[in-house]
Structure 1
Amino acid sequence: MCGAGRNKMGLLGQPTQEKIVLALALVLCLGFALLLPGFWTASNLLNLVRSVSILGILGVAMALVVIGRGIDLSLVATMAVAVAWSLQLAESGMPMAQALAFGLGFCLLIGLLNGFLIAYVEIPAIFATLAMGTAVYGFGRYFLFSLDIVYMPPDAHALTWVGQGTLFGVPAPIYMFALVSALAFLFLRYTRQGRYLRSVGDNLLAARITGVPTRPIILMQYMISSVIGFLAGCVTAASVASMNVRISNSTLIYDVILVVVLGGIGLSGGKGGIRNAIVGTLLIGVLLNGMTIMDIQYTVQNVIKGIILLTAIVIDTLLNPRDEQTAQQGDI
């Protein structure tokens, strides 16, 4: 009996990537608090979380797709083009609510196309979404707006609050991050579609045999990803009163993947949850904030993030070895 109890306690105390990353974030916080004046202040900690809220929202979107054994490299491009188009429509006289509805519809269409190419045409997700991201950026830049930077209309006060407002001293983007995380957690934990998504990521063939509508679920996960990306884009535009479409060609998409993989969501699918994305976001937030205070060059920061991403992928490969089905599908 005692042996069984010790065994159970050992399993409960077994280290996971999520626990390791959380512990590392706490160690970094402690180290920066001791070495960097002004780091451990309420204002800096709020700014830290606020600065990565948009990254965290995008991380939640990517987490849902990766849990379903996919990846969405078009996420940032879709976000930028849809929001820029909405701002362009509003600037030309369309009511902001209607303009945002058009942008949201555009995101749903791109998500639907991604899901169709992956689920029905059976193109590997990494290639389908990479091509889609390039096509979306080119389409938006040529047909929907003429400038790389589209500014928000001066009368869009309600939308501006989403990026610049505060409630009880806490910036609005933090609330948006918390809301998206909570809704995604409830979706995965308590809805049938959320359980289907996880089962598709865990074993596509087994899910299909047991009656799970695998192809519609794949369509759904990419549409949800695009919608969450659109929300992140609205927060981004509201924060700076504009949308710079060149963000599509930045390293932001790799930062999003870094958050997901570093947090412990396995690229082989079916593993991890929204909490992992939150932990990964907090670690990256602490790291970026500390490097900024230490005045480390942006290029050097990218090198450090690249090394961390590569290390996280190696750890993911060791902890979540690829199965035969994954190998046959060309991985993600």
Structure 2
Amino acid sequence: MPFTEGISIDLTLIWAFLIAFAVLVYVILDGFDLGLGMLFAVEPNRRDRDVIMNSVAPVWDGNETWLVLGGGGLFAAFPLAYALVLPALYAPIIAMLLALIFRGVAFEFRWRTERWRGVWDVAFIGGSAIATLSQGIALGGLLQGISIDEQARSYSGGWWDWLTPFSVTVGVALMVGYMLLGATWLVMRTEGRLQARMRRRAWYLCLATVAFIGVVSLWTPFLQEGYYLRWFSGWRIGIAVGVAAAVLALAALIWRSLVLYGHDYWPFILSLGLFVLSFVGLGVSMYPYVIPTEVTIWEAAAPANAQMFMLVGASILIPIILVYTAYAYWVFRGKIDPDDGYH
């Protein structure tokens, strides 16, 4: 008897949601982490850099758990998508992984040396920037479409197909957005002159982030006809207008929370709202395709028996990871003491 006989739930849809959830949590958690690395470049004072790093030291490595979960879930639940996406995006994905590794090494080594501290600071900045840019370029490369040989069900494009003006724009947009998350995180976690500088920077980064959201959102529907019909045909244009209004409303609330002192946590929470809203818009654009307009989630899915077997494990592991993550952030909540921290 098949393992899933009598089960009416759509396992493929559940796995699509789980992977999307893992990616969203990664973007939210590791996004501000990478943003802090890029903000290192504009904070040359050693004491301030130590405070910035201490603000994320207890949780930064745990944030990347969700990247492993998303990538591993894609490989296990949607093997065809994994086999098609990786060859198309090898270069940015490899660059991202190497940058994350180098960044992690720099995080540890900068505390162990005085002579080479500046070198490791540069490595931390560069690793954060390259990892973020690569993530954005990979996303842009996926959105613009992947060339597929329908008969062989394999990637048929070239090595540089991922590198286009659109993919680079998405990469730069993600860098700006992550720096907004990093700046608002420091508004929440620090005090004094560092916090005041981050308030000012967050205001400009918020404007730039909203501008990039607008540019990418207006550009995306013209990449493929399916995107255009999804957003601008018939009654759907009302959804597009509603999403745009929500983005502007969130931007106004972020600006207000940055101006009104005493609301240190709201800028970060509202900035996360911008990312969640953008992620929902991305999901609306792509669904039901895992590779836009080429392969649906059901066409790319693993057999139902395999999905059910993995779902049992995921139903145990994901709550544990969520509880551990929430506990870590709760324990290390509050303002950072400049005289204490990671060493």
Q: TM-score, normalised by structure 1?
A: 0.29
